[in-house]
Amino acid sequence: MSAPYAELQQRLRDAETLRSLAALAMWDQETMMPRKAVAFRAEEVALVSRLAHERATDPRVGELIAECETDATLCEDPLESANLREIRRAYDRAIKLPPELVAELGQTGSLAMEAWKDARARDDFRAFRPWLEKQFALARRKAECYGAPEGGELYDALLDDFEPGMTAAQLERVFEPLREALVPLIEDARSTDPSLGLAVPVAAQREFNHWLCGRLGFDLEAGRLDESTHPFTTGLAPGDTRLTTRYRDDGFFDAVGSTLHELGHALYEQGLPKSERHGQPLAQTAGLGMHESQSRTWENQVGRSRPFWSWALPEARRFCGASLDGLDLGAVVREVNAVRAGLIRVEADETTYNLHVMIRFDLERALLRGDLPVDDLPAAWNRRIRDDLGLEVPDDRRGCLQDVHWSMGSIGYFPTYTLGNLYAAQLWEVVLREVADVERQLARGEFGALLDWLRERIHRHGRRFPGVEPCERISGRPLDWRPLVEYLASKPRGA
């Protein structure tokens, strides 16, 4: 390795280590930080975020990148040239952001998240409104610093942070036919059966979900499972991947689904080559769409399948005992695949889920453009829920205050959820062809072959292939909405 490339990698490692400290502070804020620590935690996050940004945008980093770009050995190596390409891309974007804006974004995110928690608990949109206005104003400033791509819009500049190369126009071309196909499918598949009235002690659920993570391949010596209001996963550093879930006595299947979802994210993080490449693009995910595809694969393609539950139900009984007495496999399959329109995105079935995402995509674009005043958000939200899902929103707590993302400043994030569903369905077609007897393996509680396939085809490459590229390379065709609709239409709705 050349001296400039070695120095560049060390500088990137230092910047990423600082970012991991900011992420650790945010993990702590979501899981166990005392409430009175909020103000100082915001200062901590702001400081560390600014220091990480200054490290990553130091002029010496730019000089090193330029030197490495003239190194023929690096440029001829497919891995290192891809690494260098993404280093250049990240640097050119990062230097457009003033350090004081980066610090303000970090501080505001920490404070606004706590304000959102309080406002949601009290169903008080007016209390959160100033924070929402500030977050969208900051997002607009950030997007203006990046600049809209040629022929695009400011929203594209923010979207690119989460899904490299994607634009709102590209999303619309996939989302519109998907929406048109989902509406009649939802009507045809809508369940009239009541939900199963299970009451499972939270203590038993904790034990089962913790065991499940290890059983499906998560290295519990290199990570941990905790609890939070809004489940999330963060890959902090080599050997440190953390996921959270949530429990309610009457939410057994919700907890399993949340855990499997976050487990998919966590397995991706543990499959990246972080030990040797911490801070480099080759140790980072392809994008949040592909990240979400991994969570959806384990939550939906695996976790809603009859083969999985034919194995998991007897195992769950070992932990939950009499709480699951009388529950048969057919009832479980019907429950986890039931289509029931609801108000809450994170509790939505996989068929109606994408309508929730498209609502948020449309609204946040309008908020960013200024076409939708923040004061008008609750009414606009309620109208879209009524039009798209046929439901009346009784309060803002179950309406526009339900998601954490805007409080964190994650504007441009929501579309990656549906991209993840699209990628997962398109990739699952390949899994069924290439992983022999995968469904029989699931029924035996054997998950290694599936995880090995994901590691080989996706995880180990990091950001060598960014954005939509892994999906298109593996499947051999452009991104398409049809595999998702075909997968949903073929779901077993009965025993």
Give me Rg for the CA atoms of the chain: 22
Q: Is the dihedral of CA 104, 408, 265, 416 positive or negative?
A: negative
CA distances from 490 to 58, 89, 237, 248, 485 (A): 53, 41, 40, 31, 9
DSSP conformation class of 300: I
Query: Cβ(345)–Cβ(356) under 8 Å?
Result: yes
* Assigned token pair, 311: 């194995």
Longest distance between any two alpha carbons in the chain, whole Å: 69
* Pairing of the two strands 233-237 and 223-227: unpaired
Q: Please report, to the nearest 10 degrees, the dihedral formed by the alpha carbons of residues 393, 396, 398, 401 taken in order.
A: 140
Phi, psi dihedrals of residue 245, rounded to the nearest 5°: -140, -170
Distance CA(154)–CA(147), nearest Å, equals 7
Q: What are the DSSP calls for 406-428, one per residue?
A: HHHT-TT-THHHHHHHHHHHHHH
State the amino acid at position 389 in one-letter form.
Answer: L
Cα 375–chain centre separation: 28
* Helix/strand number for the chain, H first, E second: 23, 3
**At how many degrees (to 10) do helices 448-457 and 415-434 cross?**
110
Catalytic residues: 262
Query: Cβ(90)–Cβ(281) under 8 Å?
Result: yes
CB-facing half-sphere around the CA of 162: CA atoms within 13 A = 24
